[in-house]
Amino acid sequence: MAVMSTSTVHRVAMISVHTSPLDQPGTGDAGGLNVYVVETARRLAKRGIEVEIFTRRTSAGLAEVAPMAPGVVVRHIDAGPYEGLSKEDLPGQLCAFAAGVMRHVAISPEGHYDLVHSHYWLSGQVGWLAADRWNVPLVHTMHTMARVKNASLAEGDRPEPSGREIGEEQVVRAARWLVANTDAEAHDLITLYDADPSRVRVVPPGVDLEVFTPGSKSAAKEGVGLPSDAEVVLFVGRIQPLKAPDVLVRAVADMLLANPDRRKRLVVPIIGGPSGSGLERPRALQQLARDLGVADVVQFVPPVSRAELAQWYRAADIVAVPSYSESFGLVVLEAQACGAPVVAAAVGGLPTAVGDAGVLVSSHDPAVWSKELAGLLDHERSRLELVDRAVPHAAGFGWEASTDALLGVYENACRGGQGDALTSMLLEDVPAAPIP
């Protein structure tokens, strides 16, 4: 039940053009951004703040307005054909999307929204226009950035286009506040996009501590259909080169080459669906597993509900996150909240998410990953030490704290305020740099 809000913010327009908060995370373009929008919107509504989320209609069967939670509605906007458009095609539909948003608000009273919060650069382009038209502040969260992704591409992956970089620059200049997930992301905004440090605020994402909780490993293994003595190395995420599931598959092959007896127990579930450039060859990872002779060990599991996902985390002996780039890495916190040790690439926001409760790997060499994974599997005491640290670490990242901090940004934006002492303290040592 919503409480009466004492905030100066009463109604927020969130914009998520390319992916709907109603979509299942783990496939297509649905991922951490979706989780972020859903969790913050729900909690803002519980504080008495109405949230309306604008997203593109992708099916004729979708209602124009879909309630998502008490105080939260999703508004589907027609912009281009319902099917057949990739994320890369959407810049050509931003005008149509913006027009649809404007038509909706034209029948609303002046001052209907207190601010606009856009997610990802495509939404930022629409949010820029909407905020200017409605004379309200624009708060923007990048989630990912082209220049960061292009600096750490997987082999064979295509770079983000220059049009995206230009669009991101424009959104950075237009937004009154930029919300970064970590200090590292704030640094990237400042050094790669020349963002004003006084307009950047670090608000770490969170984890649902009611869904993702510790539990019995043996019961979890039984619940997901795994043998009680299985050694489980779990991957959760969209299947695309950026997430590097191929690094894990190659590492598994190396592990089995070094220790053939491990094949009797090792299980490597990969939970997720093809996304991004991975859609061009949706069965490539399965073929790689066959080519390397590990198809009997690697299991491909479609995206699952959050409750079932928590069971998979509890069943895992290790959760592997080998991504080439991550603005944060919600999978890390979800796994840790369930008591699972994490081995992750030392990139982007992953060091912040992992903290001292996991292992960071400064390489994407499968041989290096093989040694790290095998070493941890062979030393139960080391794993248990990580488990002891994992749950308390994740507990420090609840969505309630994230929403409190985000609401603070909203309040400041509506008052016309600039950076506060916290922002200045976080960023005072980060020099602005020219855009390369």
pLDDT digits (tens, 9 = 90+) for 80-112: 998 878 888 899 999 999 999 999 888 888 889
pLDDT digits (tens, 9 = 90+) for 139-161: 999 999 999 999 988 887 889 99
Determine the 3-state secondary structure of 360 from DSSP: strand
Q: Is there a binding annotation on residue 25?
A: yes
Q: Is there a binding annotation on residue 313?
A: yes
Q: Is there a binding annotation on residue 18?
A: yes
Q: Is there a binding annotation on residue 31?
A: yes
The mean per-residue pLDDT over the stretch 264-270 comes to: 97
Q: Is there a binding annotation on residue 238?
A: yes
In the sheet that 115-119 helps form, which strands lie side by side, from edge to edge? 65-69, 72-77, 50-56, 11-15, 115-119, 138-141, 177-180, 200-202
List domains and CATH numbers for the chain.
Answer: 11-206+400-427 (3.40.50.2000), 217-395 (3.40.50.2000)
Q: Is there a binding annotation on residue 113?
A: no
pLDDT digits (tens, 9 = 90+) for 338-364: 999 999 999 999 999 999 999 999 999
In the sheet that 358-361 helps form, which strands lie side by side, from edge to edge? 298-301, 266-271, 231-236, 318-321, 342-345, 358-361
- The structure tokens 């504080």 sit at 47
What is the rounded average pLDDT for all residues in the chain? 90
Please choose, from the candidates 151, 275, 141, the residue with its C-alpha nearest in 3D space to the C-alpha of residue 195: 141
Q: Is the pLDDT of residue 188 over 60?
A: yes
Q: Is there a binding annotation on residue 29?
A: yes
Give me the pLDDT at residue 128, please.
Answer: 96
Please choose, from the candidates 190, 172, 140, the residue with its C-alpha nearest in 3D space to the C-alpha of residue 14: 140
The mean per-residue pLDDT over the stretch 362-386 comes to: 96
Q: Is there a binding annotation on residue 91?
A: no
Q: Is there a binding annotation on residue 33?
A: yes
pLDDT digits (tens, 9 = 90+) for 121-135: 999 999 999 999 999
Q: Is there a binding annotation on residue 30?
A: yes
Q: Is there a binding annotation on residue 436?
A: no
